[in-house]
Structure 1
């Protein structure tokens, strides 16, 4: 079976029927239900594309949930790969799924455009925890790994991968032996940590910031290149000698067969949105840090990220 037929078969199985393409000039697929991060990305950027005069008319947002983005990916690859008026919201979550073989294709089966913002990963402990620095925590993981319980999203999730990367870069050799408890998101994990059920939480700053501001938890590190403006006193992992960044970036891809001219036109439109005060406000209000990586630089970044996630996933048995 050819790859194209595989895409169509996967899309048909996951969707259950052919997807009707609405008649419109420009479309953004949010491969999730309304209200999530991908939906926010499509709707906020789509609105600004119209307001800034970068597209004609309104941007049609199509929600296409399923397979953590796999449905939308298969649909675009099979039926819309040359559609110059289509973009799809995506994030680090999708790259994690691709790296773990959970999508019906790889990075090469789409043209990734740009990231416009990112939620920064954090390593958090309870306010009463004896661990006051990242070095304190990683020393405990090395010496008494059975007494340190990490938590966040499911095993193999981006939360889990970030935690393992921090441990690995801190010199923990047996990362497969680290204890991990999965919860439905970082907020639930933090609540359980505050109740003394777990030791440390790996999550996004957006989910942890309220607890940090109230003094209920202590942020040992932000997984960013530079300190976060909202928490300038929280050191980065990099500044503590642990060379790990953990952005849950938000951005877009388009079809694999979109022309170079149309691809470049999308880069120009999205850069205009990124540079606008309106996007900076929308991103900040949603707990994101505006961040721009685009074109060839973005694709190289994703290739490195995929390889890193695949290595960790292989080490813990998520993939072979």
Structure 2
């Protein structure tokens, strides 16, 4: 069973030199305090970092700081917001499909999707599998056959432990050629940035991560992306990379990206951010910046997003049950 987010059109920025005034993002209402913050619930360099940087550019008409709060693959940031910073009107936290999977698997404690306020989804990403440029594996099937025959010899870098979305991608692919998911040698990191650092240092032989992260490294020609987990090939830096389906593996993995707020933020302040992102995501400047950050169209806010997230969490729970991650 695969979750396929309805394709969307999302958030971002302007005040880029040379853009006409008509392309600029909306100005935040005058009563908005001067400083806002976007929390990255991971270490620098991964998809969560990209999400906050996109949000930062979207709010270019006012100051926004980026703060890093890694730990528990999002759990520390989540717990902090719902317990200690629950009413902060100008604090946003990045989330992804991996966050929703963690919720589904109970990795955020007894929390559920109703415990925060979902502001915006600003784009979608897709899973991918990569190796170093000098790796002997030229395609996804070669890598998976090697893992099947010598699982202990191939370390797979992933954001999160067993049960994480990066692990679940590999488990789904492996299942289709008879690999026991428990035999895979997973090395857990706090986000995709660390995974790629380990790959380039040859501490791991493959990475299960996200296309937006891979696009950054592909430009340096130091990695080889073996497959993207999308319905069709992706535009941009990974345009020549085949899908997993093209290589005989019927697995897709779309990854929603966006921001949420604390549960006790006032309706007025929450709606202010919802309206701002709605307006920002309709600008040509945002569309351009979303592309630069390696994301693809998906735009949703407010109640519509909240309902969508609840359904997505339920679907992730069904996927996780398939591999014994949820009772």
TM-score by length of 2: 0.66
Aligned partner of 1:136 in structure 2 is 142
Aligned partner of 2:58 in structure 1 is 48
Structure 2, gaps ≥5 residues long:
1-31
Aligned partner of 1:98 in structure 2 is 103
Task: Identify which of structures 1 and 2 has the higher relative contact order when contacts are C-alpha pairs closer than 8 Å and 6+ apart.
Answer: 2
Greater fraction helix: 1
Extract structure 1 runs of 4+ deviating beyond 6 A. Answer: 82-85, 257-265
Aligned length: 284
SS at match of 1:88: strand
SS at match of 1:225: coil
Pairs within 5 Å for 1:42-121:
42=52, 44-49=54-59, 51=61, 58=62, 61=65, 63=67, 65=69, 67=71, 68-78=73-83, 87-104=92-109, 105-121=111-127
List per-residue Cα deviations over 1:101-150 (Å, max 9, x = no partner): 34241223123343212443321234455543323333444445445443
SS at match of 1:232: coil
- Larger Rg, first or second structure (1 or 2): 1
List per-residue Cα deviations over 1:140-164 (Å, max 9, x = no partner): 4444544544334453344333222
Aligned partner of 1:189 in structure 2 is 198
Structure 1, gaps ≥5 residues long:
1-22, 52-57
Per-residue deviation, 1:251:
0.4
Q: CA 1:124–1:273 in structure 2 vs 1: closer, same or farther (change >3 Å)?
A: same
Aligned partner of 1:125 in structure 2 is 131
TM-score by length of 1: 0.67
Worse overlay, 92-101 or 277-286: 92-101
List per-residue Cα deviations over 1:245-273 (Å, max 9, x = no partner): 33454201234467889867654432322
Worse overlay, 253-262 or 242-251: 253-262
Per-residue deviation, 1:229:
0.8
RMSD: 4.0
Asked if structure 1 preserves the Cα contact closer than 8 Å seen for 2:125 and 2:256, the reply is yes
Aligned partner of 1:161 in structure 2 is 168
- Which of 221, 237, 242 pairs up with 2:249? 242
- Which of 157, 164, 178 pairs up with 1:172? 178
> Following the alignment from structure 1 to structure 2, what is the Cα–Cα distance between the partners of residues 242 and 164?
12
